[in-house]
A and B are shown apart, each in its own frame.
Chain A
């Protein structure tokens, strides 16, 4: 679990961007999306999602805005055009990498 959490940290930015691909979400929903799609192994302490989102916002990849939801103010995050471009390029390089590693690891026929 700890090793998975470490491995996840290296890809956290991309995973966060991917979780916002289909529209704005607030921090808790981002975390739920990671958990739903990645399973328990991608279960980060929820609190550490917020600093990461903030850093992405400072880098101009994500836009955050306060919105009233469920009787409370929540910060909604959405991808900026730069964030979308970054996600596309991260996704392409991950696919290349994964294809290469899979080819090496599969037993030879």
Chain B
């Protein structure tokens, strides 16, 4: 009953998008197709016109991806990077963080996880055609919270004195924990 062109398109939607979105778009495509059939077009012609009306698969998947909540959240969290980084750099330098009793391996691990998290957020923020990539924000978010919490805990326990720069960095990190924690449930629900 349905043209192979439509079946193939729907399969593409199911492959490239989460189920709910694929269902919505597929139902819209079928509406478009049926409209052309009702207007008297043959099966093949109706399918071709429906796809032309609807937009090709890459356009539709790209539009879902561009508007994905994960992509927006990743952009927001990435934007906090420079300010948070600058505050911590100032705090760690003025507090001579290299003299703190923190093992080298722990410093290295922290730096590595931070770098991977930033790269994951960058991948989610810049995804244009791959919806799945925007879901990386959902993984990166909790890790970012853990990183901020770790930085705050270490600063509060290992720093010899609580300087003003350190207080600012801690405040910025705690604010980001709140922002990230409020963003995550919205991502998980989608």
Contact present for B59 and A50 (CB under 8 Å): no
Which label, helix, strand, loop or mixed, suits the secondary structure of the A interface? helix
A45 & B186 in contact (Cβ 8 Å cutoff) = no
A50 and B60: CB pair below 8 A? Answer: yes
Q: Is the CB of B24 within 8 A of A50?
A: yes
CB-contact partner of B67 in A27, A46, A55, A73, under 8 A: A55
Chain B contacts of A51 at CB under 8 A?
Answer: 21, 60, 63-64, 66-67
Most chain-A Cβ atoms within 10 A of its Cβ — which of B30, B64, B190? B64
In the complex, chain B residues whose CB is within 8 Å of the CB of A48: 55, 59-60, 63
- Choice from B29, B55, B67, B190 contacting A52 with Cβ under 8 Å: B67
Enumerate B11-42 residues with CB–CB distance to A below 8 Å. Answer: 21, 23-25, 27-32, 35
B32's nearest neighbour on chain A, judged by CB, is: A46
Give the tally of cross-chain contacts (CB within 8 A): 68
Query: Roughly how many angstroms separate A49 CA and B23 CA in the complex, as a whole number?
Result: 14
Q: Is A107 interfacial (CB 8 A cutoff)?
A: no
B residues within 8 Å of A by Cβ?
A: 21, 23-25, 27-32, 35, 53-55, 59-60, 63-64, 66-67, 69, 186, 190
- Beyond contacts A46-B55, A47-B60, A50-B24: 6 other A-B pairs, Cβ-Cβ < 8 A, are A45-B53, A50-B25, A50-B64, A51-B64, A73-B27, A75-B24
A-B contact pairs, 16 of them (CB 8 A): A26-B27, A26-B31, A27-B27, A28-B32, A45-B60, A46-B54, A47-B60, A48-B60, A50-B24, A50-B25, A51-B67, A53-B24, A72-B27, A74-B31, A75-B24, A75-B27
